[in-house]
């Protein structure tokens, strides 16, 4: 399992979520990240999900 990072920001740049989670692949991490955003109500906030190698899996401004 690899450790991925999901970060959500307010419009002023303040970090409101900074969470690490494990997934077996980039595809699974993208799905988990999307689910986490939906569950927490952050889908429309600026966010990013990155892989352990720094690959950007999700990004929204």
pLDDT score recorded for residue 24: 98
Return d(Cα 58, Cα 26) in angstroms, integer. Answer: 10
What pLDDT digit, counting tens, does each position of 27-48 carry?
A: 999 999 999 999 999 999 999 9
The arithmetic mean of pLDDT across residues 1-18, rounded, is 97
pLDDT score recorded for residue 12: 95
pLDDT band at 59 (very low <50, low <70, confident <90, very high): very high
CB 7 within 8 Å of CB 18: yes
CA nearest neighbour of 3 among 17, 21, 18: 21
pLDDT score recorded for residue 6: 98
pLDDT band at 55 (very low <50, low <70, confident <90, very high): very high
């Amino acid at each position: 399992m690899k450790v991925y990072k999901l970060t959500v920001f307010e419009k002023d740049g303040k970090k409101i979520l900074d969470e690490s989670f494990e997934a077996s692949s980039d595809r699974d991490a993208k799905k988990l990240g999307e689910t986490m955003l939906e569950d927490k109500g952050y889908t429309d906030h600026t966010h990013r999900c990155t892989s352990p190698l720094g690959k950007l899996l999700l990004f929204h401004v």
